[in-house]
Amino acid sequence: MSRTHLYRATAPAKPIASLVLAALWCGAALTALIGTAPGLVRGLPLHGTAAGVHDRVYLVVAGAAVVTALAIAASELFAGRTRLRAARLTGAVLLFLAGALGLLDTSRRVLRPGTPVPMGDAAAAPGTVRSLAPQRLFWAGLGVVGAFTVLVGGVSALRRWEQPF
């Protein structure tokens, strides 16, 4: 007689990978936002190396958002039966959209190392940080909301996992 029916009452898989990935990206994005906040809040057009570093930081954050969202989605889809999977997948979709918008936003205007940047009033053109601040704050904020959705769904699933039999 088979005893497989005794082993089918196993607990669902824990979404640890999704939690770690979302927490890492969220920490990196919040660090980038806090580190560049003075330039974004004051609206100072950055020139030269400061503008290049600012653009490259946001390019890396946007690329990491896309990679993290795809990794979270793969983790959720291949991990097996998990609780609150829809919440974590929704957060991954928001994070992917934020990363895609961020890549589109920053890749068109990123200053490569060694690119000459004009100084003075001529540099306050539409490609400066002053006009990009609202867009960068929007997609970075959308990504943080997506990462927090993944975190809340994962922590809730972990808390609900422990149940008496």
- Please state, for a pLDDT cut of 90, what percent of the chain lies above it: 26
pLDDT tens digit sequence for 67-96: 999 999 998 888 776 778 888 899 999 999
What is the reported pLDDT for 126?
A: 47
- Cβ burial, residue 2 (10 Å; 0-12/13-18/19+): exposed
How many CA atoms within 13 Å lie on the side-chain side of 49?
A: 0
Pick the closest to residue 39 from 53, 28, 26, 27 (CA basis): 53
Q: Alpha carbon of 37 to those of 27, 34, 147: distances in Å? A: 15, 5, 20
Contact between 109 and 42 under an 8 Å Cβ cutoff? The reply is: no
Residue type, 13: A
Q: What pLDDT sits at residue 120? A: 46
Does the pLDDT at position 10 exceed 70? no
Q: Tens digits of per-residue pLDDT, 95-133?
A: 999 999 999 888 776 555 555 555 544 444 544 445 667
**Chain centroid, CA 4 distance in Å:** 42
